[in-house]
Amino acid sequence: MGETTTGTDWQAWQESWDRQQEWYMPDREERFRVMLDMVEALVGPAPRILDLACGTGSITDRALKRFPDAVSTGVDLDPALLAIAEGHFAGDPRVTFVTADLKDPDWAARLPYDSYDAVLTATALHWLHSEPLAALYRRLAPLVREGGVFMNADHMKDEGTPRINAAERAHRHAGMERARAAGALDWADWWALAAKDPVLAGPTARRFEIYGEHADGDTPSAEWHVRTLREAGFAEARTVWRSPSDALVLGLK
């Protein structure tokens, strides 16, 4: 991992990030598939996409493979993950990256387009608490064109089912421990590798100055997300995919 004869192997870093995320979410690809199914169903096969809190560009990567005529804007604040994304997509005119803090009320002024067919995000906004997340939804609504979609796949527990939640968590964590014993990297392991890479060490240090170890919000329910999207100005909103612990909610303008 890291330096090759032609420089940093950005694809290897992106794939490593995907494997680390899959350790936590074995059904990660399924939520991406449903997300892109709904993009195609509602806005067609050549969407203008805003990849929100894009990280290494996992959504953009899958979207462009499925929709070669799509264009994507990735926005994030994490300098290390953005470095991987920018390196991986270097030279692709379909992709633009923007550094912005989604808690900044004026972050959207940095975007290259005034509106998007699809605003997509996955496992990223749970670091926001409910009030700033609701404010973000209100700012997102004008960015989505009429007939366009917003989708968020993230941790959305049903607090009304504590025994089910506990059993699912125990089962999932048992599988994670087996994978860990077989060599899977967790969050801390992955960032420790990034900190040792000669190219990513600086961006990784800046990343931890910005975020600390890990920031977690209050992970409201899918029903909260649906209600808040409607209040933000989406004509329709509902859950379109669900696992025992996560959900994909869709808002349609």
pTM: 0.94
Q: How distant is the alpha carbon of residue 132 from its chain centre?
A: 17
Closest to 237 in 3D by CA, of 248, 105, 246, 43: 248
Q: What is the mean pLDDT of residues 166-171?
A: 95
pLDDT digits (tens, 9 = 90+) for 132-142: 999 999 999 99
pLDDT digits (tens, 9 = 90+) for 48-71: 999 999 999 999 999 999 999 999
Per-residue confidence (pLDDT) for residue 4, from 0 to 100: 38
Q: What is the DSSP letter of 152?
A: E
Fill in the amino acid letter for 111.
L
Residue 3 pLDDT class (50, 70, 90 cuts): very low
Map out the domains of the chain with their CATH numbers.
Answer: 3-252 (3.40.50.150)
Residue 2 in this model has a pLDDT that exceeds 50? no
Closest to 188 in 3D by CA, of 15, 23, 55, 1: 23
The residues pairing with 142 across neighbouring beta strands, listed in sequence order, are none
Neighbours of 55 (CB within 10 A): 24
pLDDT digits (tens, 9 = 90+) for 90-128: 999 999 999 999 999 999 999 999 999 999 999 999 999
Residue 218 pLDDT class (50, 70, 90 cuts): confident
- Which H or E run contains 103? none
